[in-house]
Every structure is written in structure tokens, then in C-alpha cells.
Amino acid sequence: MPRPNARLNSMKDNRPTKNHGWTRRQLGVACTLGAGGLLTSKLVHAQDLATFERLGLHQRFLWDSPINGHTRAEAQQFLNPPEDDQYKPCKEAFPSPSVPRGTVEAIPDWDESRLFPKTRRGLWIYRSHELDEANEPPDLMIFQDGNFYVDPEGPVRVPAVLDSMIHAGELRPTVAVFVDPGQRIEPRAADDPDRGQQRSVEYDTLSNLYVRFLLEEILPFVEARIGRRTTTDPSKRLICGISSGGICAFNAAWHRPDSFGRVLSHVGSFVNIRGGHNYPYLVRTTPRKPIRVFLTTGKKDLDIPIGSWPLGNQQMAAALEYSGYESRFVFSEGGHSLRHGGSILSESLRWLVR
């Protein structure tokens, strides 16, 4: 059997194979690498959700007992390790008294979802100062795990940062929506394969269901609440999250680049929770999408049986660069928290909206 490299190097014909849009070289690479389980007898040029589910990759990995001597308790060492102590909220999180402040409205028990029925969640809506006087539709930002990002005493303090940057002319008038994952209203069934993990169902699943939820349910509610439409320009729409919320943000833009053109992922879970480790392969083999991506992770980020967060993010960064995306990757000393992400939030936003 020939060595894989020799086999690939012998494939000089780079014309598309019949009907599928793949070149013979792409097909050779996919066959050699196995395509992460996503290549079957039916060739796929993007994410084949039917195959994804048939292989069981949509199911959450359950770490109930020790694996190779490793237990769930080990994960705690990666959450807010001592290396995170050096990171403080960025200076824009402390606006001077002269900076006009926006408003934040809290909706603590929003339960109107049809796509995720029988769930309730917290929502917060930020409106920048003098938003109603703006002539153009305001920019839009959506933050997953919203309570972490909206907290005025937390490590990120998004509303304060936005106030400072808008006052400085670095951002346009903005509406920011902070969305918590759903909590199931009814007790879970005994045979529930997700064990009540609604956050993972919403954030880690690689389908388009969550972005539909944002576009079809959350955004219309928000726009009705503020009494005006937000921009429809994807280059002025940013989506952000931490951990599973980070891959969720990328997944939303991946499925709907016409709706979200800017992604900010803090310590994103590009690992095998529900198949997210396949994204580097998909990024490399799918035609480039018009999205700009900012990724972060750290030396002390999670490293557990389902994957290494530092490695997963490095692979994503390499795939984005390889495929010609506008992307930036920052590797910190820290762990699986928002401490580092908060310290560079203003820098991240400047780069994404430039």
C-alpha cells in the first residue's frame, strides 16, 4: 500500500469530480484523512447534518466515571486558575463620569420560544445613549451566557465598555442583547439522553436551530421591545460567547453569514462535545464565508477526555488562516474563564468592527 503522501502527490488532476464540486485532490485528502467521519458514500461539500446525527456526533459526551485515570473533578483546575489573576477588565470598563450611559433592561423569565419549547431564560437588552436619535439602524451585538457579559461587577462589563467606545467614536450606536441558555420548565424525563443539559443542546449542537432561534424569535422580540429595527448589514452584527457559547457564536455565523459577519469566541469549545472538533476540517474544505473571527484560549484552558481547548482553538486558528479568513487568535497564560477575554474586550471589538 503506498504511503499517504505519495498517494496524494500522484494526484495531479485538480479538476472537479463529477456532480460534487470536489477536486480529485480534495477527494484524495478526504479519503486519506477520513474526513472526521463526515465523508460517506455521499460526498459532502459542507456540513452533512443527517450523517452527523446518524453517527451520533450530536449526542453529548457523558463523563460519568473515570477514564484512563482521569475524573470530572480534574476540570476544576482549569476554571479561574491563579494565572488568571493578572487579567483585569479593560480600561473602557471604567467610564469616566462624563461618559453618557446607555440603559439595560432585564427580562428575567422569557419563555416564548417555539423552537426550544418549555424553556425559560434571562434576557437583557442594552441600548446605547441617545439611540432613538440615531438616523440609521443601530449595530447589533448578541452575547451568549448573557449574565456573564452584562454583569456590572463581572470580568467583562460589556455595557460599560460599549458606553466608553461609543462616546469615543470607536463604535456606532448599538443594541446589545444578552441571552442566557434556556432552563427547562418541566422536569426531564428519566430517559432523556441529554440529562437536562439544555445549554449544551442549544450551544454545542452544530445545526442551524440556535441561529434560527436568535433570528426568528429573539431579534423580533427585541426590536418590538425597543421600537425600531436593528441593522441588517452582517458586517455590523457581532455574535459572542464563552466556551460552548463560543462555538455557538461561530456556528451561528457559519450557518448564517448573511446575518452575522463578526464572531468573538472566548475559550470556544472546538472539541468533541457534540462533534465540534470537526470544525477545523469543515473550515478547510468549505468555500470561505464572509465572516471575521477573533478567537482566544490560554495555556491553562481545559484539557479533558473530550479534547484540549488550547489545541482545538489552535487548530481552528490554523484552519481559518489556511482558508484565507480575516481572523485573529490570541493565546494567553490563563484558563477557562472570561478574565483574559474581558481584559482585551475593547481591543477585540476594535479589530472586529474596523
156: Cβ–Cβ under 8 A, 6 or more apart, which residues?
89, 93, 148, 149, 338, 341, 342, 345
- Closest by Cα among 26, 111, 87, 68 to 286: 26
Query: What pTM did the predictor assign?
Result: 0.82
Q: Choose among 207, 198, 164, 160: nearest CA to 179.
A: 198
What per-residue confidence (pLDDT) applies to 189? 66
Element (H, E) at 266: strand 262-266
CB-count burial class (<10 Å; 0-12, 13-18, 19+) for 99: middle
pLDDT tens-digit readout, 308-329: 999 999 999 999 999 999 999 9
- DSSP codes, 269-286: --STTTTGGGHHHHHHHS
Per-residue pLDDT averaged across 42-67, rounded? 62
E strand or H helix at 314, and its extent?
Answer: helix 309-322
Confidence of residue 39 (pLDDT cuts 50, 70, 90): very low
Helix then strand count (H, E) for the chain reads 13, 11
Confidence of residue 198 (pLDDT cuts 50, 70, 90): very high
pLDDT of residue 77: 75
